Structure formats: C-alpha cells, structure tokens
C-alpha cells in the first residue's frame, strides 16, 4: 500500500508566511501578502495608535532575532508575523536561525532540553546539568558565532533578541563585535524564581550557568510570560511581561474552506495510515489506530510530544468523560473520539520517546476503549492542524459533532493553542499551571482544573465536557460565549499586534533607560502616557 503525502517543503510553499533561510549567512527572510491595512481592520483604534507610537520611536533601528529553529516550536510560530509587521512599520527587523551542530554523533539539544525539563520541574530525582553538557552547548554556539559575528546586521544591530537558553552563549561573542547593542533575553517556559535563586538546586545551577557563565545577567531586558512566580528575583528590575501570541492570518487560524478542512483532516488521516503500515510491518498490531471521523464528537489535545504537556492526563480525562456519558445514557456511537496530535521540533528530542510512551499507555491502561483513542505525531502542516480545530456543523447545528479542546500541561508558559481553539469557538479544558489560566475565562470560554488537588481535578473536567457532549443547547451556549470571549479578550491580548506593541515598548524603554514595569495587558499599556 503506497500512500502519497506532500513533502514538508511542498506544504510550506503554500503557507501565508513564506520563509527562506540563507545557509551561508543563517538569515531567514519572511515574505507575505498580509498588509498593515489587513491588521488595522481587526485592531482597535487605540491599540493601533499605540503601535504607531512605539514603532515611530524605533523606526530605522535594526532589531535582530536569533533562535535555533524556524519550524515546530512556539518561537518558530511567533517570529514570522512579528518580523513581517515590524518591517512594514519601518523597523529593520532581521531574523537569524542557528546552524545545526557540526557533529552528527553529538546533539546539543539533548542538553538544552534537559535544562528545559529541569527548569519546568519535569525530571525525576535530582537530575543536574553537567560540565560536559555545557561544553557541547558552548561549542555549538562557538561554531555559529564564526558566521553570525560577521553579519553586518548583527555587527550594527541596535537591539538583539535571543530566545531561551539555546543561543545564550552567543552573547559574549557578539558583544566583541557590537559592544553597544542592547540585549533582550526572552524566557518562554514555566520557571520558578525561588528555586532559581537557590544555588544548591538544579534550577539554581542552570540559572547560574545562563545568567553568569553565558552573561545573560548583563542583558538590558528580560521578557517572561506574565506570571509572578516565573520572575528571577535578582533581575526583577529588568523583567517585562509578555504572553505568547497567535497570528490571526496564518494557516493555523485563517478561515478555511470546506475543501481545505477536508484536505487537512485527510492529511492527518493519511499520516495515521502510513504509521499503521509501519506498525503492521513491525508486528505491532496492537498499536494500529482508527482514523479521525470528522462526523463524530471529538475531545482533542494538540501539543508537542513533551514531558510537560500532560498527555496522560488528557487521555484519562477523555476516558472519564466517556464513562460519565455512558452513565447518562449515551450510546457507543455517541461517545467521542479522543485525539492527541502534535508535531516535533528540531530543538526538542523528546518527541519520539513521548509518542511511544503514550502508545504504551493507550494499549496497557485503556484496552477497552483504545480503538477510539488516536495518538499521532504528524509532520509540519499548519493548515491540517487548523482543520482539526474546526467544529463541524450538521444542518445548522452542532448536534452529534461537538468538539471540546484540552490543554492539560503540568508546566507551561502560555499555550498559544488555547487562543487558537478559542478563536475557532471551541471551549477549552485547561490546567491551572503556568500562564494558561490567563487565557481562559472560567465558565465562559472553558474551565480551569485545579492541578493542586490529588486527583488533578479530572472529574470536574469530565463533568464539564460530558455535559456539553450530551446537551446540545449547553454546547451552543458555550460556543457563543467562547466566541465572544475570544473576540473581546483573547483577540486583543494574545495576537500579533499586541506582541508587537509590547516588544516595541521594551525596545523604546531600554534605549532610553526607563526601568521595567509589569504592565502586559494592552488595555493598560494604551493608557500609559
């Protein structure tokens, strides 16, 4: 059986934001037909004025962004629209993506992922970073510095923004060729400032490595998600707050035609078919899975296969929901499929191990209903993910095809998929960890589980979903309030224009020596004189 799927290159060639990376300079160019007028039409006038004010203060400046990947992770999603908007606003925004490590036998991402997991308290026991790991990390950055420090945009940059620990050692190299540039270091994950301040903890050791050995302490600004606990106390005076945001015009969020929705679902189902062939050939018949049925109810988690995403909680929540629906008289054909999908990222080596762990959990813990549990690690395709987020109408209603989303992370900065889901009018069940609870209005756009409870509040989530799945009127009412919350709150606070305003304001403040404050809501920032 031969199933033809478009290549990632073919898929990306059709995307709204076209990316091209120069392998000799490492610079990524962003092209798109989206205009400033497109953004202005969906932006409040007072917000647009704030954008213009901060853009005028930075017009003509060169702002450089450096990170390790242009595909798969949150930064890779945030960066293209941000660079595009900044360029249209008159800021010379440039984006560089690091080259992979020269040795195929050594993977520096194993070290940076270890730092990520330790910082998010997702490791077992007293796991620590090692001098060997730090040496590999620095060596990888040393290699990249040989090219990056020769790029005129970097040598003359007014501001350089680096994301997370991966490019941190570059700072000392670039300081030698551009000692006057302003530095912004952005932390995208769930960190614990108290643990980071204690040098005896694994988190304290990492903080010392990043801030002292890599020189990030000398940055002009730190940007965290808007959670007080995330802030490193010693750098509080330099710390700004800014949540992760979505792009309303990209292929994850733009309106899709019925044909595109069908194509996107078929893409994922073909991925499942290809994987099923692999399982069959490997004698793993117990791992063969059903396809996604677009006409069935569905409980869906979309996330990278990562230790922090709580995928086991999502599976348990879905199964518990089905049990409650049976108790309320639902037939087998009325029960939802439980769908857990996501892709990988170049800088995240956890994908395959976590995928296998979830397959094992499916077959060993839930054998009775595993035919309705679908777990798939898919290749990059934003439109396909968008298609999976669409609720399907039948005869003008959602009866029989209700869709509820999950984001069950045990540690999280902010989760952009939440804002994606809400934009689609899909209520979300989330945990109260990290910054996710800032994105959902309890009872209006979903419900928030208290993960501090011994049972992870799973029953609350299951009751919430089961009620929506068996009560058509309750679902339609929740969908309406979800769309309203998305329009009035999330669309203003968690989209590209808000992200651009926040960062332009950071650039303005560090250029003029203004001390960092903790305003992050655009509704507050627009009133600052």
Q: How confident is the model at residue 61, as a pLDDT?
A: 98
Fold for the domain defined by 37-245+495-512: Rossmann fold (3.40.50)
Q: Which DSSP symbol is given to 332?
A: G
**CATH code at 258-493:** 3.40.50.2000
Cβ-Cβ contacts under 8 Å for 197 (sequence gap 6 or more):
204, 207, 232, 233, 234
Report the run of H or E that residue 18 belongs to, with start and end: strand 18-21
Q: How confident is the model at residue 397, as a pLDDT?
A: 54
Is residue 9's pLDDT more than 90? no
In the chain, where are the structural domains located?
A: 37-245+495-512, 258-493
Report the run of H or E that residue 65 belongs to, with start and end: strand 62-67
Closest C-alpha among 129, 122, 111 to residue 201: 129
Task: Identify the three-state secondary structure at position 208.
Answer: helix
Calculate mean pLDDT across residues 494-504.
Answer: 98
DSSP string, 364-396: HH-TTTGGGEEEEEPPS-HHHHHHHTPPPPBTT
Q: How confident is the model at residue 362, as a pLDDT?
A: 98
Task: Identify the three-state secondary structure at position 263.
Answer: helix
Band (pLDDT 50/70/90 cuts) for residue 2 is low
Calculate mean pLDDT across residues 448-464.
Answer: 97
Is residue 125's pLDDT more than 90? no
E-only strand ranges, 359-493: 373-377, 403-407, 428-431, 446-449
Q: Phi first, then psi: give them for residue 247, nearest 5 degrees.
A: -110, 110
Q: How confident is the model at residue 73, as a pLDDT?
A: 76
Band (pLDDT 50/70/90 cuts) for residue 394 is low
Cβ-Cβ contacts under 8 Å for 413 (sequence gap 6 or more):
74, 187, 188, 189, 190, 225, 227, 230, 243, 244, 434, 435
Is residue 3's pLDDT more than 80? no
Band (pLDDT 50/70/90 cuts) for residue 393 is low
Q: How confident is the model at residue 454, as a pLDDT?
A: 96
Buried b / exposed e over 381-400, threshold 16 CB at 10 Å, is bbbbbbbbbbebeeeeebee
- Residue 73 has, within 13 A of its CA and on its CB side, a CA count of 21
Q: How confident is the model at residue 74, as a pLDDT?
A: 83
Is residue 384's pLDDT more than 60? yes
Structure tokens at 231: 């802030």
Is residue 350's pLDDT more than 90? no
- Angle, to 10 degrees, between the axis of helix 131-148 and the axis of helix 108-119? 120
CA dihedral for 281, 282, 288, 292, sign (positive or negative): negative
Calculate mean pLDDT across residues 137-157.
Answer: 98
Is residue 11's pLDDT more than 70? no
Question: What's the CA gap between 282 and 56, in Å, rounded?
Answer: 60
Q: pTM for this one?
A: 0.95
Decide if 92 contacts 60 (C-beta within 8 A).
yes
Helices (H), 221-310: 258-281
Q: Phi first, then psi: give them for residue 301, nearest 5 degrees.
A: -115, 130
């Amino acid at each position: 059986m031969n199933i033809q799927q478009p290549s990632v290159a073919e898929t990306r060639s059709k995307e709204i934001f076209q990316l091209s990376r120069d392998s000799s300079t490492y610079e990524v160019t962003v092209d798109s037909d989206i205009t400033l007028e497109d953004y202005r039409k969906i932006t409040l006038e007072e917000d647009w004025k704030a954008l213009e004010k901060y853009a005028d203060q930075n017009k003509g400046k060169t702002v450089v962004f450096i990170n390790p990947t242009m595909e798969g992770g949150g930064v890779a999603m945030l960066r293209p629209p941000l660079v595009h908007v900044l360029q249209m606003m008159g800021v010379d925004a440039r984006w560089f993506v690091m080259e992979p490590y020269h040795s195929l036998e050594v993977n520096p991402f194993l070290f940076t992922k270890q730092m990520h997991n330790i910082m998010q308290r997702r490791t077992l026991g007293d796991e620590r970073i090692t001098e060997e790991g730090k040496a590999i990390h620095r060596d990888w950055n040393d290699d990249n510095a040989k090219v990056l420090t020769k790029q005129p945009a970097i040598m003359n940059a007014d501001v350089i923004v680096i994301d997370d620990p991966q490019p941190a050692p570059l700072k000392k190299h670039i300081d030698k060729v551009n000692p006057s540039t302003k530095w912004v270091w952005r932390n995208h994950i769930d960190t614990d400032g108290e643990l980071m301040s204690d040098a005896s903890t694994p988190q304290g050791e990492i903080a010392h490595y990043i801030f002292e050995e890599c020189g990030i302490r000398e940055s002009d600004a730190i940007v965290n998600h808007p959670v007080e606990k995330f802030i490193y106390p010693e750098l509080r005076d330099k710390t700004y707050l800014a949540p992760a945001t979505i792009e309303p015009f990209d292929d994850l969020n733009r309106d899709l035609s019925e044909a595109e929705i069908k194509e996107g679902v078929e893409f994922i189902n073909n991925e499942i078919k290809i994987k099923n062939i692999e399982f069959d050939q490997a004698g793993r018949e117990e791992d063969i899975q059903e396809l996604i049925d677009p006409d069935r109810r569905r409980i869906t988690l979309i996330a990278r296969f990562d230790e922090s995403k709580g995928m086991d909680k999502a599976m348990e929540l879905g199964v518990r929901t089905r049990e409650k629906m049976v108790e309320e008289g639902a037939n087998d054909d009325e029960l939802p499929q439980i769908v857990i999908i996501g892709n990988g990222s170049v800088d995240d080596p956890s994908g395959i191990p976590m995928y296998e762990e979830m397959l094992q959990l499916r077959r060993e813990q839930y054998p009775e209903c595993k035919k309705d549990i679908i777990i798939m690690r898919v290749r990059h395709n934003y439109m396909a993910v968008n298609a999976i987020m669409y609720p399907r109408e039948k005869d003008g209603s959602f009866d029989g095809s209700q869709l509820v989303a999950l984001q069950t992370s045990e540690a999280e900065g902010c989760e952009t998929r939440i804002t994606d889901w809400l934009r689609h009018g899909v209520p979300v069940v989330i945990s109260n960890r990290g910054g996710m609870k800032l994105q959902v209005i309890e009872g209006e756009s979903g419900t928030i589980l208290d993960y501090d409870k011994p049972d992870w509040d799973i029953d609350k989530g299951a009751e919430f979903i089961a009620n929506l799945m068996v009560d058509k009127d309750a679902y339609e009412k929740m969908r309406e309030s979800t769309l309203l919350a998305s329009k009035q709150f999330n669309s203003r606070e968690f989209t590209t224009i808000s992200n651009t305003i926040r960062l332009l304001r950071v650039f303005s403040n560090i250029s003029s020596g203004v001390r960092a404050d903790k305003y992050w809501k655009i509704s507050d920032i627009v009133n600052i004189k």
